[in-house]
Amino acid sequence: MLTLLLAIVMTGTAPLDKAVPASESYPLDTCAVAGKKLGSMGEPIVYVHEGRQVKFCCKGCVPSFKKTPEKYLAKVDEKIIKQQKSSYPINTCVFSGEPLGEKTKDVVVNNRLVRVCCGGCARKLVKNPAPTFMKLDTEILNAQKKDYPLTTCVISDEKLDSMGKPKHVIVGNTLVFVCCKGCVGKVTKNPSAAIAKIKAAKKTK
């Protein structure tokens, strides 16, 4: 199966914790440059490159990334594909409706895996990803809600209905339920931890 790794230009580069949609938060627990565990050298550095959020273990990694971002994003994309492929909600192309097969392209746009049937559909995705992300979110909610493995919040460990109707957020193409709005922000800040908890729960369910 072919893998197509594409970056998308959305806005100017900004070395700040610039807001991005929750579903596009950096989903990995390792530095985009050094590969070290985030938090191992203090508070991670959050960086937005052309509309895409990435994280580093320290300030020293920022210049290296800025020099050759394509090099590091290619490695990040490989990890994202590995992380998100197993939970991908549909087995057809989001554009053509054709079944995914040997010629499937695995495309990472703004930290999200989208699987398409061909290069033509990949180009459509890169040109305007927002409608596809909305469709993908609906498919994720429908596919993952019915088999959600936890009855407690991934942040507080409280029962999901302990504070009223549970809230949900999608990070790394994974549906996450939490007990309250405050926990949504905490999931967005550290998506990898929530994703890991859900994957572990699915294995033991």
**∠ Cα 35 36 41 (to 5°):** 145
Cβ(168)–Cβ(121) below 8 Å = no
Considering only 8-17, 83-92, 99-108, which range has the smallest mean pLDDT? 8-17
**∠ Cα 98 125 168 (to 5°):** 90
pLDDT > 50? residue 178: yes
pLDDT-derived band of residue 9, with 50, 70 and 90 as boundaries? very low
The pTM for the full model equals: 0.87
Q: What is residue 20's predicted lDDT score, i.e. its pLDDT?
A: 87
Q: What is residue 18's predicted lDDT score, i.e. its pLDDT?
A: 59
Residues above pLDDT 90, as percent of the chain: 87
pLDDT > 70? residue 7: no
> Could you give the angle at which helices 191-204 and 181-189 cross, rounded to 10 degrees?
100
pLDDT > 50? residue 6: no
DSSP 104-130: -EEEEETTEEEEESSHHHHHHHHH--H
Residue type, 30: T
Straight-line distance from the first to the last Cα atom of the chain, in angstroms, rounded to the nearest whole number = 30
Q: What is residue 21's predicted lDDT score, i.e. its pLDDT?
A: 93
Q: What is residue 44's predicted lDDT score, i.e. its pLDDT?
A: 96
pLDDT > 50? residue 3: no
Q: What is residue 13's predicted lDDT score, i.e. its pLDDT?
A: 38
DSSP 135-186: HHHHHHHHHHHTT---SB-TTT-SBTTBTBSPEEEEETTEEEEESSHHHHHH
**∠ Cα 64 75 84 (to 5°):** 135
The pLDDT tens digits for 40-94 are 999 999 999 999 999 999 999 999 999 999 999 999 999 999 999 999 999 999 9
pLDDT > 50? residue 163: yes
Q: What is residue 97's predicted lDDT score, i.e. its pLDDT?
A: 95
Measured from the Cβ of residue 163, the count of other Cβ atoms closer than 10 Å reads 17
Q: What is residue 198's predicted lDDT score, i.e. its pLDDT?
A: 96
Which comes out higher in pLDDT, residue 2 or 37? 37
Question: What's the token pair of residue 169?
Answer: 């957020």
Which comes out higher in pLDDT, residue 8 or 29? 29
